[in-house]
Amino acid sequence: MRFAGRKSILLSFSIATAMAWPSASFGWGQDGHEIIATTARDLLGARNPVIARHVDSILDMAHDRLLTQYTDRNGRLHSCHGRTMREVASWPDCVRTFPGHGSTAGYHFDDVPLCDSVAPPPPPVPAYCLNDNCGSAQLPKFVRQLRNTHSTPRQRAEALAWIIHIVGDLHQPLHTETYGDRGGNQVAITIAPGANPGMRGPANNLHSFWDKDLVFAAMHMTDGQTVQSIAALAQSTLTDRDPHLWVVEAHAIAQQAYDQLPAPAYCPVPGGAHMGPSSGGQITAAYVTSFRGAVRDQLAHAAVRLANVLQSALG
């Protein structure tokens, strides 16, 4: 399938890049997810305006704007809401610590052991997806809920928010691996002066670095490749809808992300323990240059595949 609307896609990506840097970032959440959602919505609008409007109407029919609130023990009110693809893209991240949502924590990851190859792609296995508690197993369930016209408007809107979010998360390489270190959250890093002068933060662990800093670096490449990659994908035949294949791609990038650390992790002998908390050393400009293109392409792949999933589900 070829995609039309090249100018529309380029405009969408420019808009997404301009607005994707709020004052507070929730990792690949608001930064990467807003870019993915906005670009996917533009792809749908160019390819099939009827389905694009259908997506909009599902969110608009949830008159409470997916409003979810709770008051903590200190009397502080916490609130999550949204009514556009861009706004709800990070809704699952926002509610993940709310009462009643703790069981969804695993939906953001496919924690395949770092040292395991996942090609050819296996089905989810109990070792990392016990009771379907992983993103690739939950995505088809939310697609079915979205398709079900007997679901309430709120249920369909929540399903749509989860689909947008999970597709994005399965393209974040450090959401598809673990080394006993919570997907790199326990891999301490420092960042060399000048390695990426545009970074916000900077991050102090590997997962956060991939969540935020590399996204910023990818979106601010000065050679025009960011927009060109979206335009190229708009003319491509990227039509696979199997989330396990996405995990295979992202997991391979994650293995490289560890291998190229100044202090790389080493895979244990069979039956050995994974590393757990560790130090990855100092991130250099060469590391940033090596991976910012991969991050850019993962965001682009996620946008195209999200558009495909929604078109298939609602078409």
Mean pLDDT of all residues in 253-282 = 81
> In 130-213, where does DSSP find H-type helix?
135-147, 153-169, 206-208
Tell me which DSSP letter residue 178 carries: B
* Beta bridge pairs of residue 188: 205, 279
**pLDDT of amino acid 197:** 60
Q: What pLDDT digit, counting tens, does each position of 109-125 carry?
A: 998 888 877 766 665 66
More confident call, 172 vs 24: 172
Is the predicted pLDDT of residue 18 greater than 50, yes or no?
A: no
Lowest mean pLDDT among 28-37, 246-255, 291-300: 28-37
**pTM of the complete model beyond 0.85:** yes
Q: Which of 298, 305, 295 is nearest to 242 (CA)?
A: 305
Report the interhelical angle of 135-147 vs 243-259 (nearest 10°): 150
What domains are defined for the chain? 6-63+111-314 (1.10.575)
Q: What pLDDT digit, counting tens, does each position of 196-253 carry?
A: 766 666 688 999 999 888 888 888 765 556 556 655 665 565 677 789 889 989 999 9
Is the predicted pLDDT of residue 288 greater than 90, yes or no?
A: yes
Q: What pLDDT digit, counting tens, does each position of 53-67 carry?
A: 999 999 998 878 899
